[in-house]
Copies of this chain bind each other. A is one copy, B any other.
Amino acid sequence: MSFQTGEKFKISIFGQSHSEEMGVVIDNLPSGFMIDEDKLAAFMARRAPGRDAFSTSRKEGDKVRFVSGITDGKTNGAPLCAIIENTNTRSKDYENLKDIPRPGHADFAAWSKFGEDRDVSGGGQFSGRLTAPLCIAGGIFKQILEKKGIYIGAHIASIGKVKDDLFDSVNVCEKDFVGDKAFPVINDSKGEEMQKEILDAKGEADSIGGTVECAIVGIPAGVGNTFFGGWESVISSKVFAIPAVKGIEFGRGFEASALRGSENNDAFIIKNGKIVTETNNHGGIMGGISSGMPIIFRVAFKPTPSIGKEQRSVSLSKMESVALVIHGRHDPCIVQRAAVCVEAAAAVAIADTLL
């Protein structure tokens, strides 16, 4: 499978960067859930391109149209299909790319797998734009999860070498989430430094990477499965669907690999009559199953591969080296737009087990 996932809720994403429409089908949604369309639109807007100087100038409204599964605003038990339009496509920007794969992009791998019949425009099915239907699904699941007291929030943890503060992994809760900010960081002065970092990269016709931290709060202890079905497996497999993700770590993550057991183990204590851990190095997951503490993970995004600088590539038809300059509209950094995608991927991942 590729664009389909889920055990209970089957999610099927379709579209290409420059197809007229793209969308998602969700099978098996329970009936009777009222989708807050304004809230969903606000969620989509967090991902939408063209909002400011830090991202691509391609503008898309990303207005969600429900084709099926909704009657009078509520889910009706039939498969939900939601569609958005691709209005602002400029396929001619991609004409020469049919022969010259862009470094850092999927172009070469796509050509190797699909040959001449692949859709080249805008990266086709490999475009980051495919995260828009992921966000539709994730936005809907987030709403359903919130009715059950489960909240998901992500923020930019770093851009280049500039780091935001991290969530308080023990106490983080819904009110700490910063998704509503135009530039979703905890520490706004760090955010300003990050924006400068992005504009510097942009000024040099370059791009910059970053990391996103995500917290899931409200899952009680003892939920989830083991081994292949553990939360880390479930979450990571969805998060890696987001283009440009190159790493994921839970709790202390890679840092824990340099620690002693006595430093990394989280002591159990009783707080307000409940068993909790004093620290949360484990990131809310033990043996694949929730511990009742916030689930915390961080995701690494590589720098946007599309840059204005000249790069070395090859002509697929002539099998010779060529210099490539990429035109078109691109993000100097996608991390600020990616935070919402991480939330969406997490929502899709956990909905299967939690609903």
Q: Does A218 contact B (CB under 8 A)?
A: no
Interface residues of A in 300-337 (CB under 8 A from B): 300-307, 309, 311-314, 316, 319-321
How far is A238 from B228 in the complex, measured between Cα atoms in Å?
Answer: 6
Q: Does A19 contact B (CB under 8 A)?
A: yes
Q: Does A287 contact B (CB under 8 A)?
A: yes
**A78-B15, A286-B109 are known contacts. Are A226 and B268 too (CB-CB below 8 A)?**
no
B304 & A105 in contact (Cβ 8 Å cutoff): no
Q: Does A150 contact B (CB under 8 A)?
A: no
B240 & A236 in contact (Cβ 8 Å cutoff): yes
- A contact face: mostly helix, strand, loop, or mixed: mixed
Chain A 224-265: CB-based contact to B (< 8 A → 1; otherwise 0): 111111101110111011010111111111101111111111
Identify A228's interface contact among B25, B113, B233, B241, CB under 8 A: B241
Q: Does A2 contact B (CB under 8 A)?
A: yes
**A12-B4, A67-B15 are known contacts. Are A247 and B254 too (CB-CB below 8 A)?**
yes
How far is A287 from B273 in the complex, measured between Cα atoms in Å?
Answer: 48
Q: Does A61 contact B (CB under 8 A)?
A: no
Identify A246's interface contact among B125, B283, B312, CB under 8 A: B283
Closest chain-B Cβ to A330's Cβ sits at a distance in Å of 9
Q: Does A201 contact B (CB under 8 A)?
A: yes
Q: Does A166 contact B (CB under 8 A)?
A: no
Chain A 60-90: CB-based contact to B (< 8 A → 1; otherwise 0): 0000000111010011111111010000000
Q: Does A101 contact B (CB under 8 A)?
A: yes
How far is A207 from B311 in the complex, measured between Cα atoms in Å?
Answer: 47
Instruction: Identify which of A26-34, A49-57, A141-149, A181-189 touches chain B.
Output: A26-34
**A3-B226, A25-B25, A287-B243 are known contacts. Are A76 and B124 too (CB-CB below 8 A)?**
yes
Chain A 126-146: CB-based contact to B (< 8 A → 1; otherwise 0): 100010000000000000000
Given contacts A2-B288, A107-B286, 7 further A-B contacts (CB under 8 A): A1-B228, A16-B78, A21-B81, A78-B124, A113-B289, A209-B259, A259-B303
Q: List 15 contacting pairs A-B, 8 Å CB cutoff, sorted by A.
A: A1-B7, A1-B228, A2-B227, A3-B226, A32-B114, A104-B266, A105-B287, A109-B287, A201-B260, A201-B261, A209-B256, A228-B237, A232-B246, A233-B238, A262-B307
